[in-house]
């Protein structure tokens, strides 16, 4: 093996070490690897371009972009309504079932983010009893289809680069279903080991946002729970103002009336969720100001607003703006926003008119903090277009009518031209990290071929392992992939293990597909560490878990998961 080969091996080992050392910055590690590969001329220009335009990788990016549109619909929120009931077993089964099914077709990070809200806000069970099963269900659901998780699509991108053709939509289905059925039983049994941490009283930190139930609204006459107002992402219903009377705390069974003013607390960027409820209008909805970007300001000490309410100060006429939300650090705000007496240092989020920036009194009264870009939600025809279009694209691809890449490209074009999503939103949410990681990993596999490492590795396997049954090396591949997943995250583990698994298969002279599938499943099998999979990290802090909780509940799941994978893959994908 030449010095190029030794350099490639050194870069591979350094990358693994860097990923373990800097777990939160995998893109930076792979970025350094890319620079090293190019600077040392281990790859050529054509290979660099090919790695960044790999069809499997482009398909993954398009899928993530199209999934952003689904996040703006009521689909997941509607499914979340009614998940939490008094019976813990029923709540667990509903939550696990809905999460598994949704994660097979939708971005599992978005699924978990949406369902975390009803779990954390439910009045029946402590969130720590349900959040970890929620994450595990998302992981298991993602193993069922090609688009269920980014890991499957990443492995598919390598497979396309190696063979020239793609895995099918349901290549993962048979083993994935066995994993869902087998591991769900183990997760249910291990749920008894989860801590029962009492949820602390909410401090209602963040902005206070007011909305009013209009006349003839279908929300009137129904309870808070039935209307789905307890299942919002990052917003919590703090109180109801009715005929001058304050209702707080708000019971899930509280019936809403026409004219009720609902006061929410939470993340101002999630305020547009409230527009998806018919007959519910925000304090700043008048004149269409809410359709624009929002502006965050702080009230100055010398402001004319200090000591006055928004209503008595004539705020809208004075500044050509409307207050969407108020935040007062260290203190709670209660009642209608229009009646709140403003204090110096209050944070206001404003929906501003055309004349706002030309008013000479803005600088005298406010300190501008930043622009706030709310997460917009779809309704009406565009919501139907988003859900229906995505379903048609996925179904057409699954039936072989059209290639998935083409279907997603057409769908994204329809979403853009119909206004379901803007180019600015796509640029803001573009998954640069994943694109970089996968592209550079493909580059690394090219360098292994160019430098002779792949040939050397294959010859080593032929010399020392040719007499071993392929099953043992398949088992070894799974174990190493799983360990890497727990240490360096799922996508990085898949990217690093794929070229090694291919070398093993070639050295043994067997079909590469079993090794490809084992890498895909192994990279998704993160149950022991909160850092190996993004959904685990999401519930880690929310459920107030410790590493011990993950190990006690996750190790039995990981063991059964691995046993099913190693036993089932050779059965469905023979050597």
Considering the domain boundaries, does residue 409 fall inside one? no
How many angstroms separate the CA atoms of 229 and 240, rounded?
12
Query: CA dist 221 to 45, 124, 217, 256, Å?
Result: 66, 23, 9, 6
The pLDDT confidence band at residue 138, using thresholds 50, 70 and 90, is very high
Asked whether residue 286 is assigned to any structural domain, the reply reads: no
Query: What does the pLDDT look like over 379-412, one tens digit per residue?
Result: 778 888 988 998 898 888 888 888 888 888 999 9
pTM: 0.70
Percent with pLDDT over 90 in the chain: 17
Identify any residues that bridge with 351 across adjacent strands, giving them in sequence order: 294, 322
Instruction: Indicate if 458 and 530 belong to the same structural domain.
Output: yes
pLDDT in tens, 184-241: 999 999 888 888 877 554 444 567 788 889 888 999 988 888 888 876 766 788 888 8
**Residue 93 covered by a domain:** no
Distance separating alpha carbons of residues 69 and 78, to the nearest angstrom = 16
User: Are residues 481 and 565 located together in one domain of the fold?
Assistant: yes
Minimum mean pLDDT range among 173-182, 378-387, 523-532, 535-544 = 535-544
Q: Return the residue matching tokens 């050295």.
A: 507
pLDDT in tens, 23-61: 667 788 888 989 998 998 888 888 888 888 877 778 878
Q: Which of 340, 214, 237, 231 is nearest to 285 (CA)?
A: 214
77 in any annotated domain: no
491 belongs to a structural domain? yes
- Contact status, residue 443 vs residue 48, Cβ threshold 8 Å: yes
What CA–CA distance (Å, rounded) separates 469 from 509?
12
The answer to the question of residue 182 being in a domain is no
Q: Find, among 556, 535, 541, the residue nearest to 102 by Cα.
A: 535
> Is residue 574 exposed (0-12), middle (13-18) or buried (19+ Cβ within 10 Å)?
exposed
Same domain (yes/no): 445, 568: yes
Q: Are residues 494 and 534 in the same domain?
A: yes
> Which two tokens mark 570?
């050779």
Residues 6+ positions from 113 with CB-CB distance below 8 Å: 233, 538
If one counts the domains in the chain, the total is 3
Domain boundary among 334, 351, 372: 372
How far apart, in whole angstroms, are the C-alpha atoms of residue 222 and residue 391? 31
> What's the rounded mean pLDDT across residues 288-310?
75
Residues 327 and 451 in one domain: no
Same structural domain for residues 362 and 456?
no
- Asked if 438 and 538 sit in the same domain, the reply is yes
pLDDT on residue 409 = 92
Instruction: Tell me which of 79-88, 128-137, 417-426, 554-563 is least confident.
Output: 79-88
pLDDT band at 292 (very low <50, low <70, confident <90, very high): low
Domain membership of residue 289 (yes or no) is no
Cβ atoms of 276 and 291 closer than 8 Å:
no
Domain that holds residue 494: 3-54+432-553+560-572
Distance of alpha carbon 317 from alpha carbon 572, whole angstroms = 70
Q: Give residue 133's pLDDT.
A: 93
Q: What is the pLDDT of residue 562?
A: 94
Give the strand pairing for 245-247 and 321-327.
Answer: unpaired
Given a cut of 60, whether residue 5 has pLDDT beyond it is: yes
Tell me whether residue 517 is in a domain.
yes
Let me know whether 352 and 246 are in one domain. Answer: no
Q: Which of 76-80, 185-189, 221-225, 365-369 has the lowest mean pLDDT?
A: 76-80
Cβ neighbours, 10 Å, residue 3: 8
Average confidence score pLDDT of the chain: 82
Residues 444 and 363 in one domain: no
């Amino acid at each position: 093996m030449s010095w190029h080969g030794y350099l490639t091996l050194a870069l591979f080992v350094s990358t693994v070490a860097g990923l373990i050392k800097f777990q939160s910055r995998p893109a930076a590690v792979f970025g350094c690897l890319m620079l090293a590969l190019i600077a040392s001329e281990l790859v050529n220009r054509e290979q660099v371009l090919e790695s960044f335009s790999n069809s499997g990788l482009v398909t993954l990016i398009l899928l993530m972009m199209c999934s952003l549109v689904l996040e703006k619909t009521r689909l997941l929120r509607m499914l979340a309504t009614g998940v939490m009931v008094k019976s813990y077993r029923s709540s667990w089964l509903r939550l696990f079932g809905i999460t598994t099914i949704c994660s097979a077709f939708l971005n599992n990070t978005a699924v978990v983010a949406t369902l975390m809200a009803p779990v954390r806000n439910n009045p029946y069970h402590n969130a720590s009893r349900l959040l970890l099963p929620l994450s595990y269900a998302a992981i298991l659901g993602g193993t069922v289809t090609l688009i269920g998780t980014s890991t499957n699509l990443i492995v598919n991108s390598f497979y396309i680069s190696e063979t020239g053709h793609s895995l099918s939509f349901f290549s993962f289905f048979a083993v994935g279903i066995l994993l869902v059925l087998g591991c769900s039983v183990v997760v249910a049994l291990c749920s008894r080991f989860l801590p029962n941490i009492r949820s602390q009283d909410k401090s209602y930190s963040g902005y206070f946002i007011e909305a009013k139930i209009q006349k003839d609204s279908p929300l009137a006459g129904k309870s808070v729970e039935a209307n789905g107002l307890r299942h919002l992402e990052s917003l919590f219903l703090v109180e109801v103002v009715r005929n001058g009377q304050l209702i707080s705390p708000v019971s899930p069974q509280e019936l809403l009336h026409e004219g009720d003013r609902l006061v929410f607390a939470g993340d101002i960027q999630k305020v547009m969720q409230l527009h998806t409820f018919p007959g519910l209008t925000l304090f700043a909805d008048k004149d269409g100001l809410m359709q624009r970007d929002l502006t965050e300001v702080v009230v100055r000490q010398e402001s004319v607003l200090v000591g006055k309410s928004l209503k008595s100060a004539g705020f809208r006429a004075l500044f050509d703006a409307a207050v969407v939300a108020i935040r007062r650090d260290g203190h709670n705000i209660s009642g209608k926003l229009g009646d709140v007496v403003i204090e110096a240092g209050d944070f206001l989020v404003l929906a501003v008119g055309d004349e706002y920036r030309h008013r000479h009194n803005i600088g005298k009264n406010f300190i501008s903090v930043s622009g706030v870009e709310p997460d917009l939600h779809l309704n009406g025809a565009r919501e139907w277009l988003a859900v229906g279009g995505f379903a048609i694209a996925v179904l057409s691809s699954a039936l072989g009518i059209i290639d998935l890449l083409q279907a997603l490209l057409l769908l994204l074009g329809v979403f853009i031209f119909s206004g379901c999503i803007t180019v600015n939103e796509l640029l803001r949410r573009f998954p640069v990290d994943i694109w970089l990681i996968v592209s550079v990993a493909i580059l690394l596999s090219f360098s292994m071929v160019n430098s002779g490492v792949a040939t050397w590795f294959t010859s080593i396997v032929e010399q020392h392992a040719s007499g071993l049954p392929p099953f043992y090396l398949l088992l070894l591949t799974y174990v190493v992939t799983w360990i890497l997943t727990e240490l360096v995250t799922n996508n990085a583990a898949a990217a690093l293990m794929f070229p090694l698994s291919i070398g093993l298969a070639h050295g043994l002279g067997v079909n590469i597909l079993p090794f490809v599938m084992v890498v895909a499943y192994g990279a998704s099998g993160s149950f022991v560490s909160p850092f190996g999979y993004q959904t685990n990290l999401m519930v880690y802090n929310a459920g107030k878990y410790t590493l011990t909780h993950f190990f006690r509940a996750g190790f039995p799941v990981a063991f059964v998961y691995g046993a099913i994978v190693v036993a089932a893959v050779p059965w469905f994908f023979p050597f």
